[in-house]
Each structure stands twice: as C-alpha cells, then as structure tokens.
Amino acid sequence: MPSHSRGDLKDCGKHIMKPQMQLSPVRAQEDIESFLKKDFITNLIREEFPQSFLVGGYIRDLFLGKTSNDRDYVIQGRFQSRKVQRLSKALGGSFFVLKNLVRFVLEKDNEIDIVFTEEPIETDLSKRDFTINSLAWSHDTGLIDPFNGVNDIMTRTIRAISEKNLASDPLRILRAYRLAAEIDGRIEPSTRKALSRLRPLLKKVPSERLTSEMIKLLNLPEPQPYIKMAVNDSIFSIV
C-alpha cells in the first residue's frame, strides 16, 4: 500500500494528506466486501441509482465488527423524485427531502440518508470530519479510502482530515471525544491540539446539538477517560 505523509494541523486551508483513490487491502476487508455485495438495501439503491456510494460510519462500524441502524449514501447525479418514491416503496418506509438530502425513516429506528451531488466521491470524502469516516464503497469501485482511514480504524485512532473541516462544523470538536470513546481509542496528538485550539468555535453551536452530543458521550459504557481528556483540553470551558 502506498504510504502517505501526514502534516501538522497548522494551515486551516490545507488537508493533512492529499487524497488518492485506492483500494486498501486490510484484515477483514474481503468479508466486508462480500457482505456489501449481497446487502439488500445497498442493492435496492443501486438498482435505482447506479452511481451510488455507501459512505462513512456504517463502513467504519463493519470494520469494528458492529452494525449500525443509520446509513449514508452519496449519489452522483440529480435528485429524481420518481426514483426516490419508487425506492421508498421498496424500502417500506417514509421519507422527506431537505435541499439535496433525502432521509428515509424505516421501521426499528433505521434511517437512511442519501445526498445527491455532482461532485466526485473523493471531493465528498475530503470534506468529512475524521479519517475513520472518510470511506466509501460501491460495487464498481470497491472500497475507497483516500485518507488511510482503515488503518486508523484498526489502530483505533481519531485523526482529523483538516482544521478547515473541523471549523466548518464546530460540533465535530466535541464529536472527536465521543468517537474516541465509542471505539475505545485515542485522539492523534496534532488533532487533539487542533481541537483545543478551535474550541472557541463551539460557542457558535446551538445548545441542543451540544446537549445531544454530550448525551451520546455520557451514554457510552466507559466515557470517563474521554471526558477527562476533554477537560484537560479545556473543551468544557467553552461548553
């Protein structure tokens, strides 16, 4: 696998790594690929929208041996109402539309978010929060891992893609500690410094979003070390 150089999070306009489409041969990837090729929901979406990619946390959780109730897909192309309605009927749930996003609400608290975009999938992944969430998969490409996120999943490391991405949604600052607790992992040192440096931006986050994120953290089995970490990083001096 080609190596990537990682830089410090000093320039808000720069990514830590230059993204490159690649397939990442790692432990358990073959099993995940086999599972996704047979996955009912992914295949239903692909029938209506061939240029569709499963992205983000659902893939991350598969590598961690977990399954999630929430899925995110990116579709390259324009929103098509007839296809969305047909897909909703096949999935057996309701849906609503917000700008370029469609959310399907299914039984048993399952949700599926689909974002329609004209951008390449690599561009979408480059805007995400952490490397472990910057993954995509489709039948045609297999796994796409432009920021070496699978390696960070395997080493249970939270690593920001860029300070700019953190600043674009400051809730990601608090989310880093929750994700670290969720995977029983660590926050990479330069990312942790960036979280502390950007903490004043948390003032811009609506209180209900902060509360929701805190509740998620507190409801995890062992949140104490990560709450202490956030305290040490002065995160709660802003919150």
- What are 189-227's pLDDT values in tens digits? 999 999 999 999 999 999 999 999 999 999 999 999 999
E-strand stretches of the chain: 52-55, 70-76, 94-98, 101-105, 111-117, 136-138, 142-144, 157-158, 186-187
DSSP 131: G
- For tokens 């991350």, what's the residue? 60
Taking only the tens place, the pLDDT of each residue in 62-89 is 999 888 889 999 999 999 999 999 999 9
Comparison of pLDDT for 55 and 9, the residue scoring more: 55
Q: Is 231 helix (H, G, I), strand (E, B) or coil?
A: helix
